[in-house]
């Protein structure tokens, strides 16, 4: 929201740009539910994810999740408690270390 307030672009242009990004999938849907690792496999709302890859480049704000099928999601840091988000980051990093 701060980007909308602090930018010098007109509000109409910003609405168009954000709408374009959503339509063209530059902004992926947010994860809504439970993402957890169980028996060395990731589950999203109880359904196993097929070989997910995680993007931690912007882990201060969000985690990118990509399934093998090509579906992509964003897990925003403020969508969970601080401790749950940190535990998830640790689990992702442990998995990436063990798979290498």
Tell me what pLDDT residue 86 has.
93
Confidence at residue 25, expressed as pLDDT on a 0 to 100 scale: 65
Q: Alpha-carbon distance 17 to 23, whole Å?
A: 10
- Global pTM reads 0.69
SS3 content of the chain, % helix, strand, coil (to 5): 40, 25, 35
The tens place of each residue's pLDDT in the chain, 100 residues long, gives 445 455 566 777 777 777 776 676 666 778 888 888 888 889 888 888 888 999 998 889 889 899 888 888 888 898 889 999 999 999 999 888 877 6
pLDDT in the model for residue 100: 65
């Amino acid at each position: 929201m701060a980007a909308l307030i602090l930018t010098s672009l007109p509000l109409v242009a910003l609405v168009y740009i954000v709408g374009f990004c959503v339509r063209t999938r530059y902004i992926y849907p947010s994860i809504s539910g439970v993402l957890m690792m169980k028996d060395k496999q990731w589950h999203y709302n109880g359904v196993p994810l097929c070989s997910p890859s995680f993007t931690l480049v912007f882990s201060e704000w969000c985690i990118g999740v990509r399934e093998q099928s090509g579906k992509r999601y964003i897990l925003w840091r403020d969508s969970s408690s601080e401790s749950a988000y940190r535990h998830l980051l640790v689990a992702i990093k442990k998995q990436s270390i063990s798979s290498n």
